């Protein structure tokens, strides 16, 4: 079992709709959770961090964390073509220095 | 967010030569930096963890004598690909750990290496 799992996609969402990206992780001791966006040919960019159960909103992005279910998600409201990218879920344990990345979900926003 | 730079952004070299890539944290100090490699349409692969003032920790399967890492200061880590071969052609990306309660990791823009 992979430590951080994501559906590889592609996930196709019409412009203006809500895109929902999901991630599960195996280490119950994980403390920090991150979402990165990576455009083709570019490096990953941190867009959301979440550490407590519940929702965290930042503009059009909402991260949701459920530690009991070992589940973290990212919602993108009012999806734009510029949101088309690969979204990487990443998890860090309490004592670990490195982040464990999922393999990413490719999101495509269709006009 | 914190800014991380990499230099060069791209490099082309002949087989058998060595290439050095620099990673700098511009507005924060980073005791820990990471080096990744990414082949086209594939996932990020962690190569090594670079710790300021100590030896790097390499992931399984990564040759430490081929990929030399030096983290001589709190803002600079370097990766040297020694005796490069065409199969080393890839996108090399560094990241730096912003110490604090959240330990967020910020990526540099990457270096595209092509070995002829």
What is the rounded distance in angstroms from the CA atom of residue A101 to the CA atom of residue A110? 26
pLDDT at B72: 84
pLDDT digits (tens, 9 = 90+) for B1-57: 699 999 999 999 999 999 999 999 999 999 899 999 999 989 999 999 998 888 999
How many interface pairs between A and B have CB atoms less than 8 angstroms apart? 42
pLDDT at B1: 65
Q: Which residues of B touch A99 (CB under 8 A)?
A: 105
- Give the gap in angstroms from C-alpha A84 to the nearest C-alpha of chain B: 15
pLDDT at A97: 75
Interface test with A, best of B40, B56, B103, B110 (most A CBs within 10 A): B103
- Between β-strands B10-13 and B111-115, what pairing exists: parallel, antiparallel or unpaired? parallel
Q: Show contacts of A38-41: CB within 8 Å, 24+ apart.
A: A38/A85, A38/A86, A38/A87, A38/A88, A38/A104, A39/A85, A39/A86, A40/A85, A40/A86, A41/B91
What is the rounded distance in angstroms from the CA atom of residue B74 to the CA atom of residue B78? 12
Is residue A96 over pLDDT 90? no
User: A49 forms bridges with which residues in the sheet?
Assistant: A34
- Give the gap in angstroms from C-alpha A106 to the nearest C-alpha of chain B: 11
If residue A76 lies in a helix (H) or strand (E), which one and from where to where? strand A71-76
Q: Find the mean pLDDT for residues A73-89.
A: 97
Of B1, B46, B91, nearest to A98 by CB-CB distance is: B46
Q: Which residues of B touch A94 (CB under 8 A)?
A: none
Of B46, B49, B107, nearest to A44 by CB-CB distance is: B107
Least confident of A10-14, B10-14, B68-72, B76-80: B68-72
pLDDT at B101: 76
Of B43, B105, B109, nearest to A99 by CB-CB distance is: B105
pLDDT digits (tens, 9 = 90+) for A16-55: 999 999 999 999 989 899 999 999 999 999 999 999 999 9
pLDDT at B35: 97
- Mean residue pLDDT across chain A: 94
Is residue A1 over pLDDT 70? no
Using the 8-state DSSP alphabet, how is residue B102 labeled?
S
pLDDT at B100: 80
pLDDT at A4: 95
Is residue A71 over pLDDT 70? yes
Is residue A102 over pLDDT 70? yes
pLDDT at B26: 95
Q: Find the mean pLDDT for residues B74-96.
A: 96
């Amino acid at each position: 079992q992979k430590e951080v799992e994501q559906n590889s996609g592609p996930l196709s969402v019409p412009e203006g709709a809500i895109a929902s990206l999901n991630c599960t992780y195996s280490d119950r001791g994980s403390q920090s959770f991150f979402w990165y966006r990576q455009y083709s040919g570019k490096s990953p960019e941190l867009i959301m961090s979440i550490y407590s159960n519940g929702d965290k909103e930042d503009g059009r992005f909402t991260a949701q964390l459920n530690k009991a279910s070992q589940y973290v998600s990212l919602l993108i409201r009012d999806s734009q073509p510029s949101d088309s990218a690969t979204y990487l879920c990443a998890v860090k344990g309490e004592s670990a220095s490195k982040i464990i990345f999922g393999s990413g979900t490719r999101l495509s926003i269709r006009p | 967010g914190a800014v991380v730079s990499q230099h060069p952004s791209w490099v082309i070299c002949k087989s058998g030569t060595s290439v050095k890539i620099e990673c700098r944290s511009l507005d924060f100090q980073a005791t820990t930096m990471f080096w990744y490699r990414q082949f086209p349409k594939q996932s990020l692969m962690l190569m090594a963890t670079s710790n300021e003032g100590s030896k790097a920790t390499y992931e399984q399967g990564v040759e430490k004598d081929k990929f030399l890492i030096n983290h001589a200061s709190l803002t600079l880590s370097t990766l040297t690909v020694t005796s490069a071969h065409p199969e080393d052609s890839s996108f090399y990306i560094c990241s730096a750990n912003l110490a604090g309660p959240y330990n967020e990791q910020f990526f540099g823009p990457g270096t595209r290496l092509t070995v002829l």
